Amino acid sequence: MIRKRLHRQIYFAVFLCLVLMVAFTAILFSVVGERGPNNNYRNVFKVVTSLTKYAMPSPSLPVADQAKSIEKLGAELNVAIALFTADGEEIGSYKFKGRKPDFDRLRRKINEDDGDEDEGGWLRNRRGGYSLLLDDGRWFVARPKGFPSRPPLFGVLLWLALITAAIGLGAWPFVKRLTGRLARLQTGVEQIGAGNLSTRVPVEGKDEVAALASSFNDAASTIERLINSNRQLLANASHELRTPLARVRLGVEMMKDGGTPARRAALERDIAELDSLIDEILIMSRLDTGTKPAMNEEIDLLALAAEECARYETCVLSGESAEVMGSDKLLRRLIRNLVGNAHKHGKPPIDVHVEKQDRYAVLTVHDAGEGIPHELREQMFEPFHRAPGKQNVDGYGLGLALVRQIAEAHDGQVEIVDEERRNCVFKIALPLSS
């Protein structure tokens, strides 16, 4: 429902904030704008009021003289002004155009004591400008240009409403783009759930949503790799288990007629071989899914290699003590598989060497055999892979695959390298314990 709801929720949240801002501004304007301590604003009107009353012609002068005084004052100030009698008859004016103010309304406003005292007795006209009731009953009207004036509340609200509408329209595509990326993430999750493990989503931008998309792609790649690995492991294991199971079944049938010691020994070997295969499959499966033993044992790699090399008379161990953190069971399996492969597929002697290089403990294993061609070396670490010509040799092709998994589980790496006077060397580097 992201596509239908989330972008609206975000957009309405932004829009609601704008509406609240408008309401707060209106309240602030009505409370502080009309009554706030704007001393400079009030002082201007008071000074203008005093100067205006001082500059007005005396009411005892003839009307013509009063008109000339008003024209002269307007010309000097370059302001449209006019002087009216108490009855509203024009005495004189300068550039005063339009209809005269409604003096009856202004007089009622004064009588009702609704005049704006902060404006020094000046009253705003509906038709623009300001009117001032002089002490002698005459009216002085001015329509100045650019004179400081507070805008009406309605105008402020209209202006804020226009700003809100503009921000609202501008925010819509950004909100839509954001939720569109989330919608594509949701679609990717749905496709993964439907079994399409190759699904990936585009990483757009450099924000948190982009980081989420990148994490989703990484997780999808890991899930796809694990499931494909388990499928391959299951398929290959099913095939490889048939042969020892068939031999065990045949041995059991032959034992019914009275088994000889040779038959019992052969049956025991088949069962041990089957047990070893199942054990390696379980270890690989656990390492694939991240279920592995605790890696908090401090292990001397040289001592561990000595125990495994003692199983073979042709194995020669050399090097120095190097301690690593990990699992004794897994590292023992790693060394056993390497030495066992050299014994089965190579030629004696088998040389095992342990040394420290920088921050790593390096274990190397090599024999006097022909080695492995360069083009086949990477394939040797694939599960159930067997080199050409080795199909009839004991084993199932899991040894080296398990070696790589164990090395990577210990934050190490394994590779096949060439060294002087050696065809190929298995080299494992594991971080030293602190």
Mean pLDDT of 413-422: 78
Residue 100 has what DSSP assignment?
Answer: P
For residue 275, CA distances in Å to 248, 272, 382, 403 come to: 12, 5, 21, 18
Q: Give the residue among 114, 115, 117, 118 at the shortest CA–CA distance from 41.
A: 118
pLDDT at 29 exceeding the cut of 50:
yes
What mean pLDDT, rounded, does the chain reach? 76
What does the pLDDT read at residue 148?
46
pLDDT band at 172 (very low <50, low <70, confident <90, very high): confident
pLDDT at 200 exceeding the cut of 80:
yes
Q: Which long-range contacts (CB under 8 A, 24 or more apart) does 89-97 make?
A: 91/63, 91/66, 91/67, 91/138, 92/63, 92/66, 92/67, 92/68, 93/67, 94/70, 96/141, 96/143
pLDDT digits (tens, 9 = 90+) for 96-150: 887 788 888 888 887 776 544 446 678 877 767 788 888 888 888 888 775 544 5
pLDDT band at 208 (very low <50, low <70, confident <90, very high): confident
Residue with tokens 């001592």: 303
What share of the chain has pLDDT > 90, as a percent? 11
Residue 432 has what DSSP assignment?
Answer: B
pLDDT digits (tens, 9 = 90+) for 260-306: 777 777 777 767 767 766 776 667 666 666 556 667 889 999 999 99
For residue 383, CA distances in Å to 234, 284, 340 come to: 11, 9, 17
Q: From CA 301, how far away is CA 304, in angstroms rounded?
A: 5
- Other beta carbons within 10 Å of 34: 12
What does the pLDDT read at residue 361?
94
What does the pLDDT read at residue 324?
93
Architecture of domain 37-150: 2-Layer Sandwich (3.30)
10 Å CB burial of residue 144 (0-12, 13-18, 19+) is middle
pLDDT band at 243 (very low <50, low <70, confident <90, very high): low
- 240, 396 contact by CB (below 8 A): yes
pTM over 0.85: no
pLDDT at 68 exceeding the cut of 80:
yes
What does the pLDDT read at residue 299?
92
Q: Give the residue among 39, 68, 48, 69 at the shortest CA–CA distance from 129.
A: 48
Higher pLDDT, 341 or 239: 341
What share of the chain has pLDDT > 70, as a percent? 72
pLDDT at 183 exceeding the cut of 90:
no
pLDDT at 16 exceeding the cut of 60:
yes
The correct CATH number of 297-431 out of 3.10.105.10, 3.90.550.10, 3.20.19.10, 3.30.565.10 is 3.30.565.10
The correct CATH number of 197-291 out of 1.10.287.130, 1.10.132.20, 3.40.350.10, 3.90.120.10 is 1.10.287.130
The torsion angle over the Cα atoms of residues 154, 160, 163 and 168, rounded to 10 degrees, is: -110
Lowest-pLDDT choice from 251-255, 291-295, 374-378, 400-404? 291-295
| Overall size of the chain counted in residues | 434
pLDDT at 40 exceeding the cut of 60:
no
pLDDT at 389 exceeding the cut of 80:
no
pLDDT band at 1 (very low <50, low <70, confident <90, very high): very low
Q: What are the extents of the domains in the chain? A: 37-150, 197-291, 297-431
pLDDT at 37 exceeding the cut of 90:
no
Lowest-pLDDT choice from 73-82, 87-96, 187-196, 229-238? 229-238
